[in-house]
Amino acid sequence: MDGLHLCAEWHDCAATALLRDRDTLREAGVRAAREAGLSVVGEVFHAFPEPGGVTGVVLLAESHLALHTWPELAAVTLDVYVCNRSGDHSRQARQVLATLRALLSPARVEEREIMRGALGRPPAGPPASPA
């Protein structure tokens, strides 16, 4: 499970029409993942009735991309998680995020990087003392 989890909240997106467009968002997510060199194994996108947000997931052999839009707020939340079991996919995850950020053009960006687990490896430093 060792990997990188990117979490993004994008506000005041200039591309507000895209926030309602399930098909374009699906195509953009799949294309961004493939162009970054990740392996798409499936996808599901759903458009909600007015105000018409979209929620979607692109399943990757390396993990996933999840996207949720709020057109009424001109906002998007997005996760890109890649496990690094077969190699370091961090660069590809960052590329997916950058590609979608450029497409949706947020004026305000909040992004975090979370390093996930290190199964099978001893923890760094001295062992924790029992409480």
Query: What positions carry a catalytic annotation?
Result: 63, 68, 83
Please name which of 66, 58, 52 lies closest in space to residue 8, comparing C-alpha atoms: 66
Q: Report which residue type is found at 65.
A: L
Name, in order, each residue with C-beta under 8 angstroms of 40's C-beta and a sequence gap of 6 or more: 30, 33, 34, 58, 59, 60
- The structure tokens 């799949």 sit at 30
Residue 3 and residue 84 in contact, taking contact as beta carbons nearer than 8 Å: yes
